Amino acid sequence: MSTPDESQLAAQVTEVEAQERELELTRFTNDDAWELGCTLVELAIARDLPVTIDIRRGTQQLFHAARPGTTADNDSWIERKVRVVERFGASSWLVGLRSRARGTTFAQQHDLPLQQFAAHGGSFPLRVRDVGVVGAVTVSGLPQADDHALVVEGLRAFLAG
């Protein structure tokens, strides 16, 4: 896999920023977490994807499912990705892309412990209009761009439903 050049990184940053604006919610309840989680599980089952799915509002875990082929390591990745969303108010993929677009790495730019923070794709902020970020939906188990894409697809399907 080749390394994206500056223009590709800038385009990816712009695309993910647009996704975050597009996928704003009007509310987010426990039932919404269940529906979104089930949507993601259905997508994963249909494609036989080895993913773990996690949805939180604040510090409360509202949904968690682990498909065959995942391990406890996926739970660790989820924790680390969620911390990035909580700290920066943006998707873990976007935070990592922004660092790379600046010609550095997340670790170099922010000097945070990598055992606690992972700016890798897969965790997306649950942003409620006129409220802000209230939680995160996270997928772990695929290459990071695919984790992110699955979350975006699931959120789009949830919002369309």
Average pLDDT for consecutive 10-residue bins of the chain (161 residues)?
77 97 98 98 98 97 98 98 98 97 95 95 98 98 98 98 88
Every domain of the chain and the residues it spans: 6-160
pLDDT for residue 44: 98
Question: Which residues contact residue 91 at a Cβ distance below 8 angstroms, ignoring those fewer than 6 apart?
Answer: 16, 19, 20, 85, 121, 123, 124, 125, 148
pLDDT for residue 3: 62
Structure tokens at 116: 């606690």
Record the pTM.
0.94
Q: For the domain covering 6-160, report its CATH number.
A: 3.30.450.150
